[in-house]
Amino acid sequence: MDLYPKLILDALATVRYPGKDGNIVSLGMVEDDIRIDGNRVSFSLIFQRATDPHIKSIVRAAETAILTYISPDVDIRGNISVKTPHVEPKAERPVLPGVKNIIGVSSGKGGVGKSTVAANLAVALAREGYSVGLLDADIFGPSQPKMFGVEDSQIYAHEVDGHNMLIPVERYGVKMLSIGFVVDRNSAVLWRGGMASNALRQLINDADWGELDYFIIDMPPGTSDIHLTLVQTLAITGVVIVSTPQQVALADARKGIAMFRTKEINVPILGLVENMAWFTPAAHPDEQYFIFGREGCSRLAEELDVPMLAQIPIVESICQTSDDGAPIALSDTLSSAAFIHLAREVVDATDRRNDELPPTTIVNVKK
């Protein structure tokens, strides 16, 4: 049997690619490497994608064409190789490359004012002259859009180095993203843990946060796989724990601190914030009523050897300004002074944390 390359190409010219105007020869799919050894024929077919759904059918059709139009004695089965263009994988983008310090705000239970503290801490840091971002990571109870008065904001994206990146909403000098921007605020978020974690990663990895001194994370209350996602995704500088002085809240705060201190997580505790520490009536500014107990967080801080960062009183204006979308830290009042004090304590605790790290391991350093 006299075999030669043109004979092979003529047979392959009878094989058409589905949906295209042409055969596999005219479309340039047969590589110029036809090898003939006796009655054994081998060559390569070129496909543009490794995931091309027609690869197997085209290879079978090419074998059949040669056996039909040349001879059934040609040794061709299994001798057609498939090639696809080599595509260099995109280099992984670093996570938050422009962020110096990542601070988590967490609580052992809900209802202790964690989100209020996170919002006012972010605003207070911005007032102190720092560039600040705020991530609302409380997937199932996002409240930051309400506290910043941006519930109706639309999220847009733009291209950064070939990637489509979300643009954080910016208000009061704070860049902010929340799952609350992309879900119906009147409906519950019924997601399994994996879906919530993936959404959270997107808000972190696929957003253009830019250069930030502090990236504040409003974490969900309690202990969950969301916390694991955060510590696995980010090099968190430290965590601020929020609690009321009530014994029930302190018991949960103790568990939260224990979680962050486990070997698997190992995130430093920057300190405790005692929220709703006392109530002072407007008509009697010198009086203090310890509704939820007295100095509970101070005792816990001393017991667990963590700093006591601030005590925030119960003040109606803190609640009112949060509901109005303008955190109290924007004002010049005694209440806002408590959050300015907290911001300065967090800066000092962060600096101490960074000073403790060996120079080769420092990831987030304030310059």
Rounded distance, CA 247 to CA 50, Å?
A: 60
Same domain, 28 and 75: yes
Q: Identify which of 275, 358, 322 has the alpha carbon closest to the alpha carbon of residue 107.
A: 275
pLDDT surpasses 60 at 91:
no
Tell me whether residue 90 is in a domain.
no
Q: Are residues 32 and 108 in the same domain?
A: no
Provide the terminal-to-terminal Cα distance of the chain, rounded to the nearest Å.
79
Average pLDDT over residues 192-218: 89
92 occurs within a structural domain: no
pLDDT digits (tens, 9 = 90+) for 8-61: 999 999 999 988 888 999 999 998 889 988 899 999 999 988 888 889 999 999
Q: Locate 28 and state its tokens.
A: 């340039």
**Matching residue, tokens 């014994």:** 247
CA 305 to chain centre: 31
Percent pLDDT > 90 in the chain is 57
Query: Tell me: the pLDDT tens digits for 284-293?
Result: 878 889 999 8
CATH number at residue 275: 3.40.50.300
pLDDT 10s digits, 100-153: 999 999 998 888 999 999 999 999 999 999 999 999 998 878 899 999 999 988
**Overall number of domains in the chain:** 2
- For residue 109, the SS3 value is coil
Cα distance between residue 136 and residue 142, in whole Å: 6
Distance CA 214, CA 349 (A): 13
pTM listed for this prediction: 0.72
Choice between 222 and 86, residue whose per-residue pLDDT is larger: 222
- Residue 69 included in any domain: yes
Same domain, 334 and 194: yes
- Same domain, yes or no, for 30 and 142? no
Domain presence at residue 330 = yes
How high is the pLDDT of residue 87?
59
Q: Which domain holds residue 49?
A: 5-83
Q: What angle do CA 82, 85, 86 make, to 5 degrees?
A: 115
Residue 178's pLDDT is 93
- Distance from C-alpha of 298 to C-alpha of 271, rounded to nearest angstrom: 10
The per-residue pLDDT for 355 is 81
Mean pLDDT of all residues belonging to the chain: 88
Separation CA 230–CA 351 (nearest Å): 22
Average pLDDT over residues 179-197: 75
d(CA 127, CA 119): 12
Residue 354 sits at φ, ψ, to 5 deg, of -65, -35
Last residue of a domain, one of 56, 83, 110: 83
Is the pLDDT confidence value at 211 over 70?
yes
- At 340, the pLDDT band (50, 70, 90 cuts) reads very high
Q: What span, in angstroms and rounded, lies between the C-alpha atoms of 340 and 345?
A: 9
- For the cut 80, the answer to whether the pLDDT of residue 352 exceeds it is yes
The neighbour count for residue 129, using CB atoms within 10 Å, is 9
Single out the residue in 54, 83, 112 at which a domain terminates: 83
The Cα-based distances of 318 to 88, 91, 314 in angstroms read: 53, 45, 8
pLDDT band at residue 245 using 50, 70 and 90 as cut-offs: very high
Whether 15 and 139 share a structural domain: no
Higher-pLDDT residue of 357 and 38 is 38
Of the pLDDT bands very low, low, confident and very high (cuts 50, 70, 90), residue 364 is: very low
Calpha distance 150→304 (Å, rounded): 38
Angle between the N-to-C axes of helices 247-260 and 296-304, in degrees from 0 to 180, rounded to the nearest 10: 30
As a whole number, mean pLDDT of residues 58-77 equals 92
Same-domain check for residues 251 and 200: yes
Residue 307 and residue 264 share a domain: yes
- Which sign does the torsion angle of CA 336, 337, 343, 345 carry? negative
**Domain assignment of residue 195, yes or no:** yes
pLDDT top residue among 367 and 62: 62
Mean pLDDT of 310-333: 91
Q: What is the DSSP string of 197-228?
A: HHHHHHHHHTB---SEEEEEEEPPSS--HHHH
Beta strands 238-243; 269-279: pairing state: parallel
- Give the mean pLDDT of 180-188: 76
Tell me what pLDDT residue 20 has: 85
Burial 256-278 (b: 16+ CB within 10 A, else e): bbebbeeeebebbbbbbbbbbbb
Asked if residue 94 belongs to a domain, the reply is: no
Listed in order, strand segments (DSSP E) in the chain are 35-37, 40-46, 80-83, 99-107, 132-136, 157-160, 163-166, 169-171, 174-178, 212-218, 238-243, 269-279, 308-314
Q: Identify the weakest region by mean pLDDT among 3-7, 62-66, 75-79, 88-92.
A: 88-92
> Once rounded to an integer, what is the mean pLDDT over residues 314-327?
90
Which CATH number characterizes residue 10's domain? 3.30.300.130
pLDDT band, residue 363 (cuts 50/70/90): very low
| Cα 70 to Cα 337: distance, rounded to the nearest angstrom | 90
Strand 163-166, strand 157-160: pairing: antiparallel
- H-run or E-run covering 254: helix 247-260
Confidence of residue 302 (pLDDT cuts 50, 70, 90): very high
What is the DSSP code (8-state) at residue 289? Answer: B
